[in-house]
Structure 1
């Protein structure tokens, strides 16, 4: 069940997606209407509408006037990767999540970052570095740059109280993203943060999100040794 204090279209989208993928709503079944879902989640109907629109765009539901909405009988066969809330990912592994902010400052982004985002060299961005823990053991290191020009409100957020990952999912709309998975080795500083041996093999996710043509954020997630990616097809 979704926390009523943190309702967003993204959190509703994830819950509806769970109901479909876990067959609580099997193929062909009728999906409750937006008014009923808004009452269930305690949010505005427009919030539910946005979540439903994303499911329809992914080919997971069929929406027809007068006939209502149903779970697709033959969903479009394509990969759809949601950006997970790291806290929930840890908790779904039956572990206790905790978080430590290492750095939060405005600075000129390095050319390697501005070039990837199509921003002018010398652009000032918000840089955030943090470590997420599972049962007090390092889970991943988050190294993130945020385009403050696209999200002015982010400059006032205290990221010692909420992770940048969770705040952005709740507050920053995006329309597309680029994502890359790779294997790497932990250098000295990163190995220390991840409580790993220097040179240990680690799993890395590099991701950029966009709202239309506007870059929102670029992040590198470096997972502690032993991490396994779990997803569905």
Structure 2
């Protein structure tokens, strides 16, 4: 690959991180090796790596090299909460179940929500999270495979998409909405409540550089309490 633009180098390095070629914790090639790969000056590569470090994607240490951070990108100092942590911090035992997973063409409403091109494929996942054996959260999630190709083949049967996305995929903006909704038949079945019962609902959309990554609806039974720390 012949390019002298640090922006092009940075974008390609970002792609290799988000595609899983360089997974969290991995050691990146040296600046000298990368300058040879990209056909660019070492200073150009260094600038690209410095910007990735400033954005929280990689960590650079003198004599130890550059590694992909375990939890990339915290520019806004905002943490995407992990439901496992939420439950375990309450002293309860966490359990997870995947209800179903499929790959489909994004519906119009989802394309409009995430800014996706027509024909974009998404991975749709339905999951349930349990606290001490009781239903705690019903998760209805879509992941853009254009923004996150690696999500196509991930096995979510033992660990949920929430944990995988937080550990693997960067984000630059997050939009969160809260509402009260009524349980439909599927939600009531998995949450152990009656159809029509009120649910506390969180909608969360994450974006990386104006490209929609994932949209999720999280449903909780009556009485759920959410606490935010700043």
- What TM-score results when the alignment is normalised by the length of structure 2? 0.68
Deviation of residue 111 (structure 1)?
1.3
Q: Specify the alignment match of 1:154 in structure 2.
A: 151
Residues 133 and 140, structure 1, Cα contact 8 Å, conserved in 2: yes
Q: Distance in 2 between matches of 1:198 and 1:159?
A: 28
Q: Specify the alignment match of 2:166 in structure 1.
A: 169
Residues 131 and 138, structure 1, Cα contact 8 Å, conserved in 2: yes
Q: Any runs of at least 4 consecutive aligned residues in structure 1 with deviations exceeding 2 A, and if so which? A: 43-51, 120-123
Q: Specify the alignment match of 2:69 in structure 1.
A: 47
Deviation of residue 192 (structure 1)?
1.4
Residues 146 and 216, structure 1, Cα contact 8 Å, conserved in 2: yes
Q: Distance in 2 between matches of 1:148 and 1:218?
A: 12
Q: Distance in 2 between matches of 1:157 and 1:46?
A: 19
Structure 1 unaligned regions, length at least 5:
1-5, 9-33, 59-79
**Equivalences, count:** 175
Q: Does 2:112 align with 1:115?
A: yes
Considering Cα pairs closer than 8 Å and 6+ residues apart, tell me whether 1 or 2 has the greater RCO.
2
Structure 1 pair 140–188 and aligned structure 2 pair: CA distance change class (3 A): same
Deviation of residue 225 (structure 1)?
2.2
Deviation of residue 95 (structure 1)?
0.7
Deviation of residue 232 (structure 1)?
2.0
Q: Distance in 1 between matches of 2:163 and 2:145?
A: 17
- What TM-score results when the alignment is normalised by the length of structure 1? 0.67
Q: Distance in 2 between matches of 1:108 and 1:126?
A: 9
Structure 2 unaligned regions, length at least 5:
1-22, 26-59
Q: Which digits, 9 at most, give the CA deviation of each residue in 1:141-179, with x for residues without a partner?
A: 111111111111111100002100000000001111111
Structure 1 pair 192–49 and aligned structure 2 pair: CA distance change class (3 A): closer
Q: Distance in 2 between matches of 1:188 and 1:45?
A: 46
Q: Does 2:222 align with 1:220?
A: no
What SS does structure 1 have at the residue aligned with 2:123? Answer: strand
Q: Specify the alignment match of 1:3 in structure 2.
A: none
Structure 1 pair 229–103 and aligned structure 2 pair: CA distance change class (3 A): same
Q: Specify the alignment match of 2:42 in structure 1.
A: none
- 1:27-46 paired onto structure 2 within 5 Å: none
Relative to structure 2, which stretch is displaced further, 127-136 or 218-227? 218-227
The alignment yields a C-alpha RMSD, in angstroms, of 2.9
What SS does structure 2 have at the residue aligned with 1:160? Answer: coil
